[in-house]
Amino acid sequence: MRKLLFVSILALSVTVACNQPKGEKTEAGDAQNVDSSAMSQAETLNVNLTTSTVEWLGVKPTGQHNGTVNITEGSVSVKGSELVGGSFSIDLKSIKVLDLTDTKMNAKLTGHLNSADFFDTENHPVAKFEITGVAPFTGTLTQETTVKPTHTITGNLTMRGTTKSISFPAQVTVSGTSVSAVTPQFLVDRTQWGVNFKSKTIDAKFKDDFINDEIGLTIKLEASK
């Protein structure tokens, strides 16, 4: 019996340790000012709302959920062959859960994500990301991915009334009158924006019944005239 209990505890520990979201870590810092000089004489291209997406991944010790959320408006600024700025808005009420095929379970989780426990979309229906800087990518990725980063994008992410600066790698392609930017999955700490539900960092009582603080995000952005 003791051996069986030990094996069960060991198996649970391994599951908790291994079931972590994978991706490039970001650090949330103070909001930054937009570099207005970089925007001088830049050309504005509109984000294609049909082909641009934000994918999300949430993880807990016993499993994970994933889905999408819609970009509702946005534009990018290009000077010559370089991306220099831009911003886009995300309709948090459009959040979808893709991994649950049971209609009732899907609706329950979707409703919970919209509630004050998570994104509180009744009071904060829109999130926004505004680019404050774009620099050549000089680092190395910690995870294998088909995305080959060319730049590091820094910007202010506003969610639930809180604005924080984050940086993440992206593969940026500027071709004539169009731009595409694709990120590998990167991680943001949801508690930095007040999304604290079942965070054991915020409340240690959750022990093994917690949800990881870090959310995985993947952005695919396309823009043109």
Percent of the chain scoring above 90 in pLDDT: 79
pLDDT higher than threshold 50 for residue 81: yes
CATH of domain 21-224: 2.40.128.110
How far apart CA 168 and CA 135 sit, in angstroms, is 11
Quick one: pLDDT band at residue 33, thresholds 50, 70, 90?
very high
Could you tell me the pLDDT band of residue 20, with boundaries at 50, 70 and 90?
confident
Stated as kind and residue range, the H or E segment containing 105 is: helix 103-114
Cα distances (Å, whole numbers) of residue 183 to 25, 54, 116? 12, 10, 28
Give dist(CA 142, CA 91) in Å, integer: 30
Where exactly are the structural domains of the chain? 21-224
Residue 172 pLDDT: 98
What per-residue confidence (pLDDT) applies to 154? 98
Residues with Cβ within 8 Å of 168's Cβ and at least 6 positions away in sequence, in order, are 24, 26, 152, 153, 183, 186
Q: Are 75 and 44 in contact (CB under 8 A)?
A: yes
Of 218, 153, 162, nearest in space to 192 by CA: 162
Q: How many residues are given for the chain?
A: 225
* CA–CA distances in Å: residue 170 to residues 4, 96, 165, 185, 192: 47, 24, 16, 10, 22
Q: What is the mean pLDDT of residues 108-130?
A: 98
Of 49, 60, 54, 163, which is closest to residue 109 (Cα–Cα)? Answer: 60
pLDDT for 133 beyond 60: yes
Which pLDDT does position 198 carry in this prediction? 93
Rg of the chain over Cα atoms, rounded to whole angstroms, equals: 19
pTM here is 0.89
* Residue that wins the pLDDT comparison between 225 and 125: 125
Q: How confident is the model at residue 39 (pLDDT cuts 50, 70, 90)?
A: confident
Q: Considering only CA atoms, which of 216, 223, 220 is closest in space to residue 67?
A: 216
Those residues whose C-beta lies under 8 Å from the C-beta of residue 93, and which sit 6 or more positions away, are: 114, 121, 125
Cα 19 to Cα 190: distance, rounded to the nearest angstrom: 17
For the record, the structure tokens of 118 come out as 């998570």
Statement: residue 153 has pLDDT above 90? yes
Higher pLDDT, 20 or 185: 185
**Whether the predicted pLDDT of 96 surpasses 90:** yes
Predicted confidence (pLDDT) per residue in 175-211, tens digit: 988 999 999 999 999 999 999 999 989 887 877 789 9
Q: How many CA atoms lie within 13 A of 152 on its CB side?
A: 15
Strands 214-224, 186-189: pairing is antiparallel
